[in-house]
Structure 1
Amino acid sequence: MRLRLFASTLIAATVFAGVAMAQDIERPECIAPAQPGGGFDLTCRIAQKGLEGVIANPIQVTFMPGGIGAVAINLFNTTRTDDPNAIVAFSSGSLLNMATGKYGEWNEDDVRFTATAGTDYGAVIVRADSEYKTLADLMAALKQDVGSVVLGAGGSVGSQDWMKAALLVRAENLDPRQMRYVAFDGGGDAMSGLLGGSIQVYTGDVGEMISQLDAGTVRILAVMSKERLPEPFADIPTTAELGYPDAEWAILRGYYMGKNVSDEAYNAWVDAFKQAYGTEKWQETVKAQGLQVYSVAGEEFNQEILGRVDRMRQIAKEAGLIQE
């Protein structure tokens, strides 16, 4: 009986302690560095809803458009460097901007990456009747003649979608500058290009492929992830398991804080996210936004992101997108 009472008291104390730390966030705010309705808005809404009941005060969403995140990172490196109340939404596109210098003097070392919101993953997609039945078939063709395969996606050279194709080519130690890549205005146009035959391989996002898979119009040769995804993608192999661990691309969404924020404030947010990650509400919130659950927070997450940006920068340099 005493053991049960002790265990119950310990659990209650642990929960209370976690909530108490989160309650130190007096005026919680999530900055969406764009207009309402886009991916950054979605990212902030996940925090706003997913952290309900974990932190005492509701999260206010503030929109700060400009330069695809440039205005926000500038503000958090000038007047709000130590703001304990605010988190800023970012995506893999933001990381690519940091890697390629599109945020001017500010880069990944000028923020503290705090927590994930969720993720989607890149995918290697071909038509259902493609000659490439497996990823091995495609990689063999690239290795034999990198210019013989026409790849394409909904982004220009240097974009996230281009980076997926570049990672695939680079996985065979080939030069991304030699690949044949067609840039479309968006994913819908790229899919039309694939189905119409103007490209042979579409490096898109797996989350957008459900309807195409159901219709039987495409085949996904691999998901660009370390581990297999749940249904409806559970039967699709990953680039990692097929021998290309470096050809991973997570379309990550998450949050950062100002670089001078105190450890106490940073850890309050980290603890709040870690508490939320274990709840059914968080999982449902993430899935409702079309993302895969991916839950990492704190210094582990910060180090992971620094590694991602470094890899992006290296690929961009190899492709001539960054001048030494």
Structure 2
Amino acid sequence: MKLKLLTLALTAGLVTAMNVAAFESDKPTCIAPAKPGGGFDLTCRIISNGFKDAGLIDVPMAVTFMPGGVGAVAYNHINASRRDDGNALVAFSSGSLLNIAQGKFGKNLDENSARWVGAAGVDYGAVIVSADAPWNTLAELVTAVKADPTKYVLGAGGGVGSQDWMKAAILMKSSGVDPKSMRYVAYEGGGEATAALMGGHIQIYPGDVGEMVGQLEAGKLKMLAVMAPERLEGEFSHIPTAKEQGFDAEWTILRGYYLGPDVSDEAFNYWSGQFEKAYANDAFLQTVGEKGLIPFKMSGAKFDEYVKGRVGYMRELATEAGLIE
């Protein structure tokens, strides 16, 4: 009898182990919830290129674009049509979490409407102007804006209450300018905002460091400050922080991926395991660095819990700012 029970227990354990490893992604896709260019595109390229370079996927990962509502359309699509699709990862940022905290993704959708599976890395806000702008320091820009806040237009990928709006508001507040007086234009994503900046439609772009790599190298834009707690390493080490220039303006951006809320544990654990392998792989980490991000090594259940905690924190901040009741 004991032998039979032991056999059954071993069999059950074997079946469980087989089920955990049963999922294999045959049509991996990363959905960027915006138009090509900008942060969401960058986030998808990290996993599509990084996983390939690290030898973690045999089938090329497709990148598709689903703009609308700065992530809301993709979030609703996943919840309506692909709740259990283990092949579909969707890129998100701290801006997405801020919108969820404010209820902007749907009345019945919150942080529990997805399974947060892995991080790509962290980025930081940046104060960006066109290459031919008359300002070369943040102090020069602030002096001009303070003289007439209505003269200069700020623009970024998100409306009032979005992450980019928050960055602009924090910058204005730290400069002694009432955020309510700033002229702000919302775009669908970072790509559109960058084009608007280069086209002269806006004068200031509170964007992200990572998405500016190519434009800075081409000499089309200038970064006057990074909104990081301390200077970054590598190619951005020469750019001073807003804080060291006398302005208390910091903003950290988390970038990562989520799956549908009904995705199986097998699929969730499969992707979590792939991220853990990636975090230990030099080729993947090199891809993260090339995209201007700093590695943030967290995935699976721990990451899911972390993200949900961040949304709760942002909900408190938005309430304090009067953005939600």
TM-score tier (shorter): 0.5 to 0.7
| Paired position in structure 1 for 2:47 | 47
**1:294 offset after TM fit, Å?**
2.4
**In 2, distance between residues paired with 1:302 and 1:291?**
24
1:122 touches 1:204 (CA, 8 Å); kept in 2? yes
CA gap of 1:233–1:43, structure 2 versus 1, over 3 A, is: closer
**Match runs of 1:162-177 below 5 Å:** 162-170=165-173, 176-177=179-180
Pair 1:224 & 2:222 matched: no
**In 1, distance between residues paired with 2:80 and 2:118?**
22
1:115 touches 1:255 (CA, 8 Å); kept in 2? yes
CA gap of 1:66–1:22, structure 2 versus 1, over 3 A, is: farther
**In 2, distance between residues paired with 1:113 and 1:58?**
22
**1:282 offset after TM fit, Å?**
0.8
Calculate the aligned-residue CA RMSD, in Å.
Answer: 4.4
| Paired position in structure 2 for 1:30 | 29
**In 2, distance between residues paired with 1:240 and 1:24?**
50
- Counterpart code for 1:46: I
**Match runs of 1:283-294 below 5 Å:** 283-288=285-290, 290-294=291-295
2:121 touches 2:295 (CA, 8 Å); kept in 1? yes
TM-score, normalized by length of structure 2?
Answer: 0.66
**In 2, distance between residues paired with 1:189 and 1:23?**
47
**1:106 offset after TM fit, Å?**
1.1
> In structure 1, which of residues 110, 114, 128 is the aligned counterpart of residue 117 of structure 2?
114
**1:87 offset after TM fit, Å?**
2.5
* 3-state secondary structure, aligned to 1:116: strand
**Match runs of 1:154-193 below 5 Å:** 154-155=156-157, 157-158=159-160, 159-170=162-173, 176-177=179-180, 179-183=181-185, 186-191=193-198, 193=200
**Runs of 5+ consecutive residues of structure 1 not aligned to the other structure:** 1-19
- Counterpart code for 2:68: G
TM-score, normalized by length of structure 1?
Answer: 0.67
| Paired position in structure 1 for 2:62 | 61
- Counterpart code for 1:208: M
CA gap of 1:301–1:241, structure 2 versus 1, over 3 A, is: farther
| Paired position in structure 1 for 2:303 | 301
| Paired position in structure 2 for 1:95 | 97
**1:208 offset after TM fit, Å?**
2.1
**In 2, distance between residues paired with 1:49 and 1:217?**
26
Q: Deviations over 1:288-307 (max 9, x none)?
A: 5x332423322453344345
**1:42 offset after TM fit, Å?**
4.9
| Paired position in structure 2 for 1:11 | none
**In 2, distance between residues paired with 1:170 and 1:124?**
14
Q: Deviations over 1:121-142 (max 9, x none)?
A: 3212468754x8456x877999
**In 2, distance between residues paired with 1:265 and 1:33?**
20
**In 2, distance between residues paired with 1:304 and 1:119?**
14
**1:108 offset after TM fit, Å?**
1.9
**In 1, distance between residues paired with 2:41 and 2:144?**
41
**1:224 offset after TM fit, Å?**
1.4
Count of residues paired in the alignment = 293
1:224 touches 1:247 (CA, 8 Å); kept in 2? yes
1:33 touches 1:71 (CA, 8 Å); kept in 2? no
| Larger CA deviation: 43-52 vs 33-42 | 33-42
| Paired position in structure 2 for 1:266 | 268
Q: Deviations over 1:21-63 (max 9, x none)?
A: 9954322533415588455555444323322465465255374
**Runs of 5+ consecutive residues of structure 2 not aligned to the other structure:** 1-17, 188-192
* 3-state secondary structure, aligned to 1:292: coil
**In 1, distance between residues paired with 2:279 and 2:303?**
14
**In 2, distance between residues paired with 1:218 and 1:60?**
33
- Counterpart code for 1:47: I
* 3-state secondary structure, aligned to 1:124: strand
> In structure 1, which of residues 208, 211, 231 is the aligned counterpart of residue 212 of structure 2?
208
